[in-house]
Structure 1
Amino acid sequence: MHWKDLKAELLAIGSARLIGEPAEEYIARSAAGPGAGGAGAVFFAMGNHRVKFGLNPKSSIEIAHRGGGVAQLYFEGNLIPGRLLKPGCHCPDQAFITVTGSCIFRCRYCPVPLQAGKRKSIEEIMGLVESVRHRISAISLTSGVLSSIEEEEAYVLEVVKHLLFFGLPLGVSIYPTDKTPERLKDLGVLEVKFNLEAATPELFETMCPGLEYEQIWRALDRSVELFGRGRVFSNVLIGLGETDEELDACIRKLTTHGVIPVLRPLNPVAGMTGSPRPSAERLKRVFDMHERALTEAKLDARQALTMCTNCAGCDLVPGRDE
């Protein structure tokens, strides 16, 4: 089976049960995003390709760890040899750190507000990066919102100032103010990700009450001016109720504006519990839309140095998952 087709099938399930030799050093923990507060996740690699699985003892996918990272994936009667990847922080090759693990907003698909996680101190963040410095090539930051969007931005900027010490490519994804792109650029951040989350403003209003869709668009457009085409990203969830036509229109609007979409299959948690994950067939259709739009806009997702598009564990990424 072609890797793209296999990965679509695996992402449509999204989880695996892990058996075999102890594998704690290969398990990644999340304090933000759809996996926050879960049992952890593993990254399974086959050659240069990778896919992330949430750990679930009831999953129909089984990964047998044979020791030293050597692993076999069992799926629908197929045995696929590969390896488990050691995470830096959250994902392989990066220190991808959640600054604040709580949020005052209540986006329906997000479990972070239910976790009541804490804010990491600058000393703690520096220590996390130092602990994995020998096996990472980039640092990425994301964050909830502890008290206000403005206060969160100010704190993340202080974190960024300290992380410059490591001299690594730095990516940041937070909810932006109008001045966030300039402030991050002035500090030396290389890439930014401001998330539309939903394919239409109507869906966004339903899913993210209290947040502003057009605010994110303003930040994206300003970021392309400052950081350049292909250095700006935006998450769009697949499976919130949008049609393929609406999703295609959103993808094309992003790419024509110079933004690389990050198309994330819905993980049905928090207020979306019980919703279906997008099917493998739909993920493949969306991949084709994504690939065409990037090609027409002359954008190359393989050039990403930080954050989700560089990792490519949770999503199908044109150029990476061929």
Structure 2
Amino acid sequence: MPEPVRLSLDDRQLLVELQSLGVRVEDATDGPLPGRLGGAGPSDALFLWVRGLPLTVPSHASYVDASPYTVRVEGKRATLFRDDELVGPVTLPPRPRIYDMQTADGVPYWKIALLHLDSIASTVVQKCIYWDTPEQCGFCGIELTRGEQTIPVKTPAQLAEVCTAARDYDHAVDVTLTTGSLNRRDRGAIYISRCASAIKEASGLPIQVQFEPPDDLRVLDEVARAGVDAVGIHSETFDPEVLARVAPGKAQCGIEGYFRTWERAVDVFGRGSVTTYVLLGMGEREELIIEGCRRAIAMGVYPFVVPLRPVPGTLMADSPTPDPDYVGRVYGEVAAMLSEAGFDHLDAKAGCARCQACSGLSAWERVMRREDGADLDDLFVGAHG
């Protein structure tokens, strides 16, 4: 477990550069490092802790070859370099124990769910009605993960078994479930909630589920009755022109449609228990991102801001990664809004906002707390305990 370290401006720059530029891996003497290819996300990701913060960092895409960052692994030690300059030690997670387990009928647990640091996560249905149509999302690789890598549809019983094992053997503290859109009515929210109900009954773990806005917002009440603690309803951007270009299927709802859904979701699940992904680096207008985040926060929605990670095999595989200075600037503005509104990712019950590994927002949140005079003991979360 890494020692917590007080973050400085240089530390924050390090985090945004790692997530925008990626990291190369050398001398992995113990075999392939933990990570994943394809899927709904986090894809093309190496999991590691850097100066007390959990991160997912691009490691497989071709653009990573140009990154100045390298992780050199020697046995159980891992060290981060920027070009030839030593940055310091980093911590790689051990192989989860559940990855060596299987169901009674022989399905490996890792084909059902993956451990994302201390969150057990699954793409419940590995398909989407938009895939391979003009409505496909350019950034998504949900149907790239097939065959030997996963099973296309996970059952409630399978997920309950694996999530309970992850709690017992790998100290998982929450569950994150996502799905492709399965239809144009509830978008898959009903099925994913059935899975959540089985997991909750078996494990008691807090659960976030992620789905598109359903046509009938009363579906949100059914999701809550299933025992779901938090929801992710992701607009991806607040720039309508970008949404129409990169996610034409999702754009049919319209950004105002997302705001209407969030308003109802906050009524159902509570302030801070509704999140939206906000991807940076797709050609969006910065002022629209800032204003959209401000409006979402005022409504009680946590905007989970992340840099675009172009995934090999997707429609946006060759897109440039976002400029780290731009990402850092947006992080700073959004973190200030979150602080002013009293939001803190440590209060999140489950899901991406709690984990924070795909974003650098928590680094800025820590600095905000320090500047507000918080006790230093409260600043250091390490690797979630």
TM-score, structure 1 as length reference: 0.89
What is the SS of the residue equivalent to 1:43? strand
What's the CA shift for 1:266? 0.9
What's the CA shift for 1:248? 0.7
- The corresponding residue for 2:206 is 169
- The corresponding residue for 2:99 is none
What is the SS of the residue equivalent to 1:104? coil
* 1:12-59 per-position Cα deviation (integer Å, ceiling 9, x unaligned): 213432533215473356621362xx5xx3212134212212333835
* 1:139-165 per-position Cα deviation (integer Å, ceiling 9, x unaligned): 111111244453622211210110112
Instruction: Say if 1:14 and 1:52, in contact at 8 Å, map to a contact too.
Output: no
Q: How many correspondences in the alignment?
A: 317
Instruction: Say if 1:32 and 1:112, in contact at 8 Å, map to a contact too.
Output: yes
- The corresponding residue for 1:121 is 155
Identity, % of aligned positions = 26
TM-score, structure 2 as length reference: 0.75
Q: Aligned to 2:227, which of 188, 194, 197? A: 188
Q: Aligned to 2:304, which of 245, 262, 275? A: 262
Does residue 103 (structure 1) correspond to residue 128 (structure 2)? The answer is yes
Q: Aligned to 2:65, which of 52, 58, 67? A: 58
Does residue 14 (structure 1) correspond to residue 22 (structure 2)? The answer is yes
Gaps of 5+ in 1: none
Identify if the C-alpha distance between structure 1 residues 78 and 124 changes in structure 2 by more than 3 Å, giving closer, same or farther: farther
What is the SS of the residue equivalent to 2:65? coil
Q: Aligned to 1:157, which of 193, 198, 201? A: 193
* 1:229-274 per-position Cα deviation (integer Å, ceiling 9, x unaligned): 1111100110111122111111111111111111111122422232
* 1:39-97 per-position Cα deviation (integer Å, ceiling 9, x unaligned): xx3212134212212333835322122334x3111223332202102476241111111
Aligned residues: CA RMSD:
2.4
Instruction: Say if 1:90 and 1:96, in contact at 8 Å, map to a contact too.
Output: yes
Gaps of 5+ in 2: 1-8, 97-113, 131-135, 368-385
Identify if the C-alpha distance between structure 1 residues 23 and 252 changes in structure 2 by more than 3 Å, giving closer, same or farther: farther
Q: Aligned to 2:276, which of 216, 234, 238? A: 234
- Equivalent-residue separation in structure 2 for 1:174 and 1:216 (angstroms): 11
What is the SS of the residue equivalent to 1:271? coil
Instruction: Say if 1:192 and 1:231, in contact at 8 Å, map to a contact too.
Output: yes
Q: Aligned to 1:76, which of 57, 71, 83? A: 83
Identify if the C-alpha distance between structure 1 residues 262 and 293 changes in structure 2 by more than 3 Å, giving closer, same or farther: same
Q: Aligned to 1:43, which of 25, 30, 47? A: 47
What is the SS of the residue equivalent to 2:89? strand
- The corresponding residue for 1:92 is 117
- Equivalent-residue separation in structure 2 for 1:34 and 1:28 (angstroms): 8
- The corresponding residue for 1:112 is 142
- Equivalent-residue separation in structure 2 for 1:241 and 1:261 (angstroms): 18
Which sits farther off after the overlay, 192-201 or 111-120? 111-120
Instruction: Say if 1:176 and 1:216, in contact at 8 Å, map to a contact too.
Output: yes
The structure number with the bigger radius of gyration is 2
Identify if the C-alpha distance between structure 1 residues 247 and 48 changes in structure 2 by more than 3 Å, giving closer, same or farther: same
- Equivalent-residue separation in structure 1 for 2:32 and 2:317 (angstroms): 28
- Equivalent-residue separation in structure 1 for 2:49 and 2:145 (angstroms): 30
Instruction: Say if 1:149 and 1:175, in contact at 8 Å, map to a contact too.
Output: no
- The corresponding residue for 1:303 is 347
